Copies of this chain bind each other. A is one copy, B any other.
Amino acid sequence: MSENAAGSARDTAAGRVPPRGSEPELVQLLTPEGERVEHPDYSLEIADDELRALYRDLVLVRRVDSEATALQRQGELGIWASLLGQEAAQVGSGRAMAEDDYAFPTYREHGVAWCRGVDPLNLLGLFRGVNHGGWDPNEKNFHLYTIVIGAQTLHATGYAMGMQKDGAESAVIAYFGDGATSQGDVNEAFIYASVFNAPVVFFCQNNQWAISEPIEKQTRIPLYQRAMGFGFPGVRVDGNDVLAVLAVTRAALQNAREGSGPTLVEAYTYRMGAHTTSDDPTRYRLTQELESWKLKDPIERVKAYLVRTGKADQAYFDGVEREADELAAYVRKGCLEMSDPDPLSIFDHVYAERHPLVEEEREQFATYLDTFQSADGLEEAAAPTGGH
């Protein structure tokens, strides 16, 4: 056994990451051309209206994203981390969750946030710099964005351990990127999850890049195989195929809920935009790569399928476009109307209980500010969301 394992690992090692652009074997239910295919392990029964709803989600989150990018260019946001290209990975996994499941996102999970009913303005608020998110995580079962790479995977695992203690039939999804797999925290999360058999799905969006670093800087074998080293299953899914992502994530969540422990899902996808609006990818990658991934667009293939099968007509697509326009307008208006926080809010919420130093500094600063100006108030507005 030991020699076999050693031997096979050696083979794997020799294999390395397949050359860029080559087609890795992955779970797929809808081809880039919009053809529905079957997979022996993952079947998916899906009603037409669910299919259309997925399409709608994909279009709407892309529109929120592009509007946010535009707002950043106009100086309304400090920065924006675009999900362009990763809509299917996020909507597929987000829609796979049950209401009681809980998600721990990175800073790019705008599509998952949408599925959990988080107002897109909350996301913009963070990138505008008025707060760090501002939604109630427990209301949405969607944790705040985590910016320190990988840290949230341990929170997710702990949360899942708590669900297990509660005897809840729920599961957690921990989102992270390909780069994040190199962090100690992520690997420790794998260990805790496997040792405690915690109901957590590790959902890695391998978008091929960690800022300027290609996946080869993080691993020499396909990422989903990392799970093998920790004794739980890993599976690679076409991250641009919303149906496959839905099916694979659903199965993984169900396994977790049923006590089979963690699964690593590698959603094989591509970051079509810059890392963030501050980034300039022309410095480190070839447009040719981008072009080849354009052919695998996560939205186009669903549209092609809906059109070919007659499951949606032009009126439907027009309707979704209209909705997207409205949503973009809502996002733009809400963003422009967002007021800056009260300076004294710096001292709010640092502690749950009284803290003399913070109180003292708050008072002193209030007195100091009074010599200049009076503080502004904060406004809020109701919001359309994709939530339950």
Contact = CB atoms under 8 A, between A and B. Distances in A.
Interface of A: 1-3, 5-10, 12-13, 16, 24-27, 39-41, 181-185, 187-188, 191, 194-195, 197, 216-222, 224-237, 261
B183 A195 contact: no
Given A2-B224, A187-B188, A195-B217, A230 B229 contact: yes
Contacts of A1: 24-25
B235 A218 contact: no
A132 to B, nearest CB: 25
A73 B230 CA distance: 40
A155 B222 CA distance: 26
B184 A10 contact: no
Total copies of the chain: 2
Contacts of A236: 2
Contacts of A41: 3, 6
23 contacts: A2-B237, A3-B39, A3-B41, A6-B235, A7-B233, A9-B227, A9-B232, A13-B232, A13-B233, A13-B261, A181-B191, A182-B191, A183-B188, A187-B188, A194-B219, A194-B220, A195-B216, A195-B218, A195-B219, A221-B230, A221-B231, A225-B228, A227-B229
> Residue among A218, A231, A235 with the most chain B CB within 10 A?
A231
Nearest to A8: B228
A231 B220 contact: yes
The 3 nearest A-B residue pairs measured at CB: A184-B184, A229-B229, A221-B231
A185 B195 CA distance: 18
Contact of A5 (B197, B216, B228): B228
Contacts of A221: 230-231
Given A195-B218, A228-B228, A9 B234 contact: yes
Contacts of A195: 216-220
Nearest to A26: B2
Contacts of A216: 195
Contacts of A181: 191
A234 B157 CA distance: 27
Given A184-B184, A195-B219, A224 B6 contact: yes
Name the residue in A8, A216, A225 with the highest tally of chain B Cβ atoms < 10 Å from its Cβ.
Answer: A225
Q: A3, A181, A219: which has the most chain B beta carbons within 10 Å?
A: A3
Nearest to A10: B233
B234 A6 contact: yes
A318 to B, nearest CB: 38
A176 to B, nearest CB: 14
Given A195-B216, A195-B219, A231-B12, A225 B5 contact: yes
A219 B235 contact: no
A25 B191 CA distance: 23
A3 to B, nearest CB: 5
A182 B195 CA distance: 10
Contacts of A222: 2
A251 to B, nearest CB: 10
Contacts of A226: 229-230
A247 to B, nearest CB: 12
Contact of A13 (B24, B25, B218, B231): B231
A224 B5 CA distance: 9
A10 B227 CA distance: 10
B194 A9 contact: no
